[in-house]
A and B are shown apart, each in its own frame.
Chain A
Amino acid sequence: MPLYLLPLFPLIGFALLILFPRLFPGRAAGWLGSATVLASFVVAGARYLGQTDTPAHEVLWTWLPNMALNANLSAGFYLDQLSALMALIITGVGFLIHVYSVSYMGHDPKFTRFFAFMNFFVAMMLILVLADSYPLMFVGWEGVGTASYLLIGFWFSGRNSEASDKDLRGASDREGVANSNAARKAFIMNRIGDLGFMLGMFLLFKLYGTLSIPELAARVPGAQVATAGIELACLFLLVGAIGKSGQLPLTTWLPDAMAGPTPVSALIHAATMVTAGVYLITRSHFLYDLAPVASTWVAWVGGLTALYGALSALNQHDIKKILAYSTVSQLGYMFMAVGLHAYSAGVFHLLTHAFFKALLFLSAGAVIHALHEEQDVRAMGGMRKFMPFTHIAALMGVLAISGIPIWSGFFSKDAILAAAYTSSPLLYVVGLGVALLTAFYMGRWYFLVWRGEYRGHVPHPHEADGLIKVPLGILAALATLGGFLNVPAFLGGGHAFDAYLGRAIPVHLHEIPAATEWLLTLLAVAAGVGGLLWALAEHRRRSLADGPLGQISSNALYLDRVYDGLIGAPSRAIAEGLDVVDRGVDGTLAGIARTSAAPGGLFSLWQSGFVRAYAVSMLLGTALILGYWAIKTIGGGA
């Protein structure tokens, strides 16, 4: 089966749903949308099973001028172990979330449009991971940004924009403005990153004369290029990755992006799109391997973001915002891993994170649904009684993300921490601290939502329906058992995942004595368990609602305000100023026109309409010319 089928199926779904929405009454649109993603999943599965060690490269058609080696760049798809894995995650998790959405979005008037956008997103994400060149990857890159924009702003006029009640309408309008602003912010911040990505491409082209990834991979190791150039290119690409993955300093759009419907948060802002930055760096491993400084930057950006996200998550009160900051933090882990050249560990965490974070978001969505759009954790509690199935699923997710043994997060986080320990002790300490904080805020989330007494306003919350339970169940199973794909050697495993990915991405094996490994593992587990126990203790003391750090954490370390003051406000002011200047250029010219019209005024005085005035002018002119002529004749003739 050709690779282009992968993005083609969801694209067809998108085209049908957006062009002919009337053809799909009721839930038909949801089923069509899910079916196209399932079809892609089948293709991805088939390609995975039929995969060999040589990557598949299928060229489609000529696209961009002169951007391959002495030729025009073609659009084409490229499938190696990394992209096969990503394609499976995207279509698999994507399919589950589509099914979930059929129920979750069932009552939304824009149901069809929602699935159109979701399909569009899946198609773009598949193009991103399957692209055989950086520009084509950029298509998917901005395409997912576009989809993200559309979906964050899905309720662009609020959810009650047609309400006749004045208060309801006013609230809806405010919600609309907030949603729209969040969407726009996401797109613009992504664009900042995209400029970095573009500059990286330009520099790569300057250095190597091609933007095709296979050609680059073949050319880079042997080429005689100054290291500074590679470092700079890698830093440019890092800017791109930072923008897409919500890393510091371009992180503030990601928490705001929770304005979108919950399945969107699960699919785009947790499981897939935001991990594109990790994918980009892993895909460019042949460059980062040659750029130690840039790699260190990647690792530190990741480490600091992990810390930032964890600190910001400590005292959030929105059920989705906690998860959003958690995503920021976990993405930081992945960056840390790939920055330390532990690509396999980073991608493995990407995989397990996709499972447990999607699971957490979807169960949060189920709760929000049950409580009629209530999102404040202080108005929840005790949901365990009302929604036992969802509770179990959510618990699996919490245990996974906290790194409790046998759950998937344990294995992936452990690998990252091990890599950090060998490369940079300082980063290891940061990582370990973040692990503790993670366990705490996830424990806080769990206890506030599911335990204690019910504080909600809805009399009898209902358990989710079957369509929601199935994806939750599957994801819970994956979040629990996914870690066994990559059991490390000292635990008696065979590094199956590392070996698989190692066929495409070189794995830098860290030689750590087994004893040290055990020690590291114990420390990590201790951090996870400690964090959960800390949360439990606070829960017992009923002081959990007010997390540590107070306002500083709630306001996400005031980063938003700093940006608005440092960048937003000045650039608006400059725009204002330039506009005035531009009209002023006009003004200046108008002034010149007036000045030149002043002698014109004299002339118009002369144009008095009196015939004789005109005649005198004529006479004077004639007399002047003839007089000059006569004088000249006298002078010359004499």
Chain B
Amino acid sequence: MIHLMIFLPLLGSLLLLATPKRWRDEVAGFVAALTLGLGLLIWRGGGAEVFRVDWIPALGVTYSVALDGVSLTLALVTAFMSFIAVLYAARRISNPGTMLSLVLAMETGLLGIFAARDLLLFYVFFETALLPALLMLAIYGKPNRMRALVKFAAYTLFGSLLMLLSIIGVKAYGGSPTFALADLIQNPVKGAAQTWLYLGFLAAMAVKLPLWPLHAWLPDFHEQNHDSGVPDVMGTLYKVGGYGLFQFGLPLFPDASEQLRPILMGLAAFTALYAAWIAFRQTDWKRLIAYAGLSHMGFVALGVFSLNETATIGAMYLLAFQNVYTGALFLAVGMLQERVGSVHTRVGGVMTQAGALGGMTLALWFASIAVPGLAGFVGEFSVLLGAYQVQPWLAFIAGLSTIAAAAYALTAFQTTFWQGRPLGAVRVADLRHTEWLVLGLPLAVAVFFGVYSAPALNLIQPAVRGVLAGLGGQ
């Protein structure tokens, strides 16, 4: 079932190419929903144990996959948000065949990233997911997309190269027979080599987190992507750096992560504050949300790097659910753009005519800036609380970004949705048809997991405990 879940979207993506135009929406929606359904079935069945066969025996590459704990949570969120993205893409984009196909192909890459329990397989999926992302930007992007494209590709490929080197290094120096995670943990790398390999691994993950100063591709990527926000949803899901560090970084490089902890935590806290502060200045909704997402990623990194159980749980929780509300915010911006023809934050007065759109956007913003009772809070609060136990001052610095978050979110919201509508501006229609679902479902998820966190917590907490117990600390 797990294999079906991973590869079903890819099959659907290929199938779409052969589907007549009028059925494409339905097919894509069906495939995305089926994938989500499979994910839920796996969840009900208590997750999928490690499945392992040799893939390229000569190189020691195995096909090892599992979905449990953190990875299952993230896979479910990915399937859910892909479904939402497909829903909106089908409604918004005329002749969306290619876009739907790319979204589904990317979903396979992302699910593979989360399921992989072999470092090289992880790398393969990691790169697989990159292609549709690049194609979406290249095909559907705005006029200045080439610059963004080159930047995105350059950063990512640069990081990936270093990661590949350290992946090979981990196997070579540790003397493991295969690239499977279990084998690699059995044969750890010792001493200074571990630190260097960790830095290489970190480079790729820091690009993908992203972490200051390797974040410059992110705002451009989102700014130049298609107005509908569908590629942005997938791009948000692609920010898997936090997961990679947690699932592979910590177990493989325990000493190095302990050793570099203060520096990395400092970098993460700085990222959180820096991004939030810059977001305050943005006048393009997409750049703004991109920086907001960057700020969240600073929190995620802070949690993972702190090696504190509560903080790491919070980081994973935040990583999972920020996808939901950040993605939905991108789609809300897409709807705004469809109505007023701009993603500028100084439109003014939209809520006087589109109350539901404004209200939903505001609620999603509240989730994003971690108002308690919504999903963002559980993660952010746990991260800060855990980080405070380790490095109080860094937690304080990261905590300052909660103030900045209120400032940037509410300022942009106010100047777009509140205040007077300029005289003579076009009348704005409220939400219609599937748009209700596209914003309503993520909001419902954000509320549900903000109030009742147990379902996600039951998945994340044991996994985090397992990983941290392997480090022998905390």
**Direct A–B contact in the complex, CB atoms closer than 8 angstroms:** yes
In the bound assembly, the distance between CA atoms of A138 and B374 in angstroms comes to 12
Interface presence of B352 (CB below 8 A): yes
Interface presence of A180 (CB below 8 A): yes
Of the candidates A66, A146, A172, A176, the one whose C-beta lies within 8 Å of that of B313 is: A66
Contacts known (A149-B410, A585-B213); A64 close to B381, Cβ less than 8 A: yes
- A contact residues around B220 at 8 Å (CB): 586
Interface presence of A582 (CB below 8 A): yes
B454 pairs with A194, CB closer than 8 A = no
In the bound assembly, the distance between CA atoms of A341 and B418 in angstroms comes to 44
A191 pairs with B402, CB closer than 8 A = yes
Interface presence of B407 (CB below 8 A): yes
Contacts known (A176-B419, A202-B389); A65 close to B372, Cβ less than 8 A: no
Interface presence of B130 (CB below 8 A): no
B418 pairs with A180, CB closer than 8 A = yes
Interface presence of A135 (CB below 8 A): yes
Interface presence of B56 (CB below 8 A): no
As a 0/1 sequence over residues 276 to 306 of chain B, the CB contacts with chain A under 8 angstroms (1 = contact) are 0110111000000000000000000000000
Contacts known (A65-B382, A138-B372, A149-B410); A161 close to B277, Cβ less than 8 A: no
A64 pairs with B382, CB closer than 8 A = yes
Interface presence of A173 (CB below 8 A): yes
A201 pairs with B373, CB closer than 8 A = no
B389 pairs with A205, CB closer than 8 A = yes
In the bound assembly, the distance between CA atoms of A142 and B309 in angstroms comes to 26
A157 pairs with B388, CB closer than 8 A = no
Query: What class of interface size applies to chain B in its complex with A?
Result: 35 or more
A158 pairs with B384, CB closer than 8 A = no
Interface presence of A290 (CB below 8 A): no
- B contact residues around A181 at 8 Å (CB): 414
Interface presence of B265 (CB below 8 A): no
In the bound assembly, the distance between CA atoms of A66 and B378 in angstroms comes to 12
- A contact residues around B219 at 8 Å (CB): 582
Interface presence of B139 (CB below 8 A): no
Contacts known (A65-B310, A162-B352); A574 close to B382, Cβ less than 8 A: no
Main secondary structure of the interface of A (DSSP, over half): helix
In the bound assembly, the distance between CA atoms of A433 and B266 in angstroms comes to 49
B371 pairs with A142, CB closer than 8 A = yes
**Best-buried of A149, A162, A176 by chain B (most CB within 10 Å):** A176
B420 pairs with A72, CB closer than 8 A = no
In the bound assembly, the distance between CA atoms of A67 and B414 in angstroms comes to 35
- B contact residues around A139 at 8 Å (CB): 372-373, 377
A142 pairs with B414, CB closer than 8 A = no
A135 pairs with B381, CB closer than 8 A = yes
Contacts known (A169-B420, A205-B389); A199 close to B399, Cβ less than 8 A: yes
Among all A-B residue pairs, the 4 with the closest Cβ atoms: A173-B420, A202-B388, A156-B418, A139-B372
11 cross-chain CB contacts under 8 A: A63-B378, A65-B313, A67-B310, A67-B385, A146-B366, A198-B402, A199-B399, A201-B385, A206-B392, A578-B278, A586-B216
In the bound assembly, the distance between CA atoms of A72 and B417 in angstroms comes to 39
As a 0/1 sequence over residues 363 to 397 of chain B, the CB contacts with chain A under 8 angstroms (1 = contact) are 00010000111000110011011001100100110
Contacts known (A146-B366, A205-B385); A158 close to B372, Cβ less than 8 A: no
B419 pairs with A65, CB closer than 8 A = no
In the bound assembly, the distance between CA atoms of A161 and B428 in angstroms comes to 14
In the bound assembly, the distance between CA atoms of A586 and B150 in angstroms comes to 12
Interface presence of A579 (CB below 8 A): yes
Select from chain B the residue with minimum beta-carbon distance to A66.
B310
Of the candidates B213, B309, B396, the one whose C-beta lies within 8 Å of that of A199 is: B396
Binding site for A on B (CB under 8 A): 151, 213, 216, 219-220, 274, 277-278, 280-282, 309-310, 313-314, 349, 351-352, 355, 359, 366, 371-373, 377-378, 381-382, 384-385, 388-389, 392, 395-396, 399-400, 402-403, 405-407, 410-411, 414, 417-421, 423, 451-454, 457, 460-461
Interface presence of A192 (CB below 8 A): yes
The interface size of chain A toward B, counting residues with CB under 8 Å, comes to 59
Of the candidates A62, A188, A205, A572, the one whose C-beta lies within 8 Å of that of B403 is: A188
Of the candidates A61, A176, A205, A575, the one whose C-beta lies within 8 Å of that of B454 is: A61
B420 pairs with A206, CB closer than 8 A = no
Binding site for B on A (CB under 8 A): 18, 61-67, 72, 75, 113, 135, 138-139, 141-143, 146, 149, 153, 156-158, 161-162, 166, 169, 172-173, 176-177, 180-181, 183-184, 187-188, 191-192, 194-195, 198-199, 201-203, 205-206, 571-572, 574-576, 578-579, 582, 585-586, 589
**Best-buried of B216, B371, B372, B452 by chain A (most CB within 10 Å):** B372
Of the candidates B213, B310, B372, B420, the one whose C-beta lies within 8 Å of that of A176 is: B420
- A contact residues around B405 at 8 Å (CB): 191
8 new A-B contacts, CB < 8 A, other than A142-B373, A191-B406, are A65-B314, A67-B385, A139-B373, A161-B349, A191-B402, A201-B385, A202-B392, A579-B281
- B contact residues around A586 at 8 Å (CB): 151, 216, 220
B453 pairs with A63, CB closer than 8 A = yes
- A contact residues around B396 at 8 Å (CB): 199
In the bound assembly, the distance between CA atoms of A202 and B385 in angstroms comes to 5
Of the candidates B282, B351, B410, the one whose C-beta lies within 8 Å of that of A187 is: B410
A143 pairs with B372, CB closer than 8 A = yes
- B contact residues around A184 at 8 Å (CB): 407, 410-411, 414
In the bound assembly, the distance between CA atoms of A473 and B419 in angstroms comes to 37
- A contact residues around B277 at 8 Å (CB): 571, 574-575, 578
- B contact residues around A199 at 8 Å (CB): 388, 395-396, 399
In the bound assembly, the distance between CA atoms of A176 and B452 in angstroms comes to 37
Select from chain A the residue with minimum beta-carbon distance to B355.
A113
- A contact residues around B281 at 8 Å (CB): 572, 575-576, 578-579
**Best-buried of A205, A575, A586 by chain B (most CB within 10 Å):** A575
In the bound assembly, the distance between CA atoms of A64 and B318 in angstroms comes to 13
- A contact residues around B421 at 8 Å (CB): 157, 161
- B contact residues around A158 at 8 Å (CB): 420
- B contact residues around A576 at 8 Å (CB): 281
- A contact residues around B406 at 8 Å (CB): 187-188, 191
B412 to chain A, nearest CB (A): 10
B385 pairs with A176, CB closer than 8 A = no
A157 pairs with B389, CB closer than 8 A = no
Select from chain A the residue with minimum beta-carbon distance to B213.
A585
- A contact residues around B366 at 8 Å (CB): 146
A204 to chain B, nearest CB (A): 10
Contacts known (A184-B414, A586-B216); A202 close to B278, Cβ less than 8 A: no
Select from chain A the residue with minimum beta-carbon distance to B411.
A184
In the bound assembly, the distance between CA atoms of A158 and B454 in angstroms comes to 43
In the bound assembly, the distance between CA atoms of A183 and B413 in angstroms comes to 12
Contacts known (A65-B382, A142-B372, A156-B351); A575 close to B280, Cβ less than 8 A: yes
B381 to chain A, nearest CB (A): 7
In the bound assembly, the distance between CA atoms of A194 and B453 in angstroms comes to 22
Of the candidates A72, A113, A138, A205, the one whose C-beta lies within 8 Å of that of B457 is: A72
**Best-buried of B216, B274, B457 by chain A (most CB within 10 Å):** B216
- B contact residues around A153 at 8 Å (CB): 414, 418
In the bound assembly, the distance between CA atoms of A67 and B384 in angstroms comes to 12
- A contact residues around B310 at 8 Å (CB): 65-67
A198 pairs with B418, CB closer than 8 A = no
B402 pairs with A195, CB closer than 8 A = yes
Select from chain B the residue with minimum beta-carbon distance to A192.
B403
- B contact residues around A161 at 8 Å (CB): 349, 352, 420-421
Of the candidates B373, B392, B414, the one whose C-beta lies within 8 Å of that of A143 is: B373
Contacts known (A157-B349, A184-B414); A62 close to B457, Cβ less than 8 A: yes
A156 pairs with B419, CB closer than 8 A = yes
B414 pairs with A198, CB closer than 8 A = no
Contacts known (A180-B419, A188-B410); A203 close to B372, Cβ less than 8 A: no
**Best-buried of A61, A135, A202 by chain B (most CB within 10 Å):** A202
Select from chain B the residue with minimum beta-carbon distance to A18.
B359
Of the candidates B216, B377, B385, B418, the one whose C-beta lies within 8 Å of that of A157 is: B418
Select from chain B the residue with minimum beta-carbon distance to A21.
B355
Of the candidates B355, B395, B403, B423, the one whose C-beta lies within 8 Å of that of A169 is: B423
B403 pairs with A191, CB closer than 8 A = yes
In the bound assembly, the distance between CA atoms of A143 and B372 in angstroms comes to 7
